[in-house]
Amino acid sequence: MFAELQARGYVRYESLPLKTKAGAEVQVEFVSNIYDCDGIKVIQCNIRNIAERKQLEDQMRQLALYDSLTELPNRRLLHDRLGQTMAASKRWGCHAALMYVDLDNFKMLNDAHGHAAGDLLLVEAAQRLKSCVRELDTVARVGGDEFVIILSDLSADKVKATTMAEVTAQKVRIKLTWPYLLTIRHGGKADAAVEYRCTASIGVALFFNHEGSQEDIVGRADVAMYQAKAAGPNLIRFFEAQA
């Protein structure tokens, strides 16, 4: 820092970690100049604590990229992750899959017990979905009771990749059928305990090496999901191109 200051006479860091006397690390904005004052070099430093600003920026980023209820990636981040997965599929020659998950009888819960109960179920469903996939995969909420899962880095062999995706889809389907134990809190009233069962219709689309656009891939999984819902509920369907 001081070598740069002496060479340029000016340094600026938008964000620099500094430690307080107590040992805590804080983010600061650091600006320093060298002035010549009657032949004497004077160094002026301005340090501003930007911890609140960084916290606000993190909150804004969270709101922009994540669903506020479930804290899962939202549509915007989903499309970014899907683009990365498509590029990785082309680079490494492995299949990937996109899974569209729609809860079958979610509206009945909202109608019977209100949106607070529905929100509790969605949060629990999000956690169950995350527990079914690997860390490198993505689970996103795309609106209402609809979720999307991206399975990355499957096998280069299509049959094996299909089997891997089906195993995960079955795990998701089964785990979502487990009963939901919801504690609904009403202001001024006693808490209400509700046990609810909810299934899901799941559509899966395999993709490989940039075959189609993001919209194509999502659309194929969506079509397969509606086929599952029409035949089900509580079914899985893989997208099959029409001859």
pLDDT of residue 225: 98
Q: Is 145 within a domain?
A: yes
Q: Is 104 within a domain?
A: yes
Give ∠ CA 206-207-208 in degrees, rounded to 5.
135
- Measured from the Cβ of residue 166, the count of other Cβ atoms closer than 10 Å reads 14
Beta bridge partners of 138: 150
**For residue 16, with 0-12 CB atoms within 10 Å meaning exposed, 13-18 middle and 19 or more buried, which class applies?**
middle
Q: Is 221 within a domain?
A: yes
Q: What is the pLDDT of residues 138-152, one digit of tens each?
A: 999 999 999 999 999
Binned at pLDDT 50, 70 and 90, residue 190 comes out as confident
Binned at pLDDT 50, 70 and 90, residue 46 comes out as confident
pLDDT of residue 100: 98
pLDDT at 5 exceeding the cut of 70: no
Binned at pLDDT 50, 70 and 90, residue 21 comes out as confident
Mean pLDDT calculated for residue range 177-181: 96
Domain boundaries, position 99 = 71-238
Q: Is 36 within a domain?
A: yes
Two tokens at 118?
């529905």
Domain count, the chain: 2
Q: Is 62 within a domain?
A: no
Q: What is the pLDDT of residues 68-94, one digit of tens each?
A: 999 999 999 999 999 999 999 999 999
pLDDT of residue 88: 94
Cβ neighbours for 218, distance < 8 A, ≥ 6 positions apart: 82, 98, 100, 148, 205
Mean pLDDT calculated for residue range 198-208: 97
Mark whether 106 and 173 lie in a shared domain: yes
Q: Is 222 within a domain?
A: yes
CA 53 to chain centre: 24
Q: Is 60 within a domain?
A: no
Mean pLDDT calculated for residue range 91-105: 96
Q: Do 62 and 56 form a contact (C-beta atoms < 8 A)?
A: no
pLDDT at 7 exceeding the cut of 70: no
Task: Name residue, tokens 């650091």.
Answer: 30
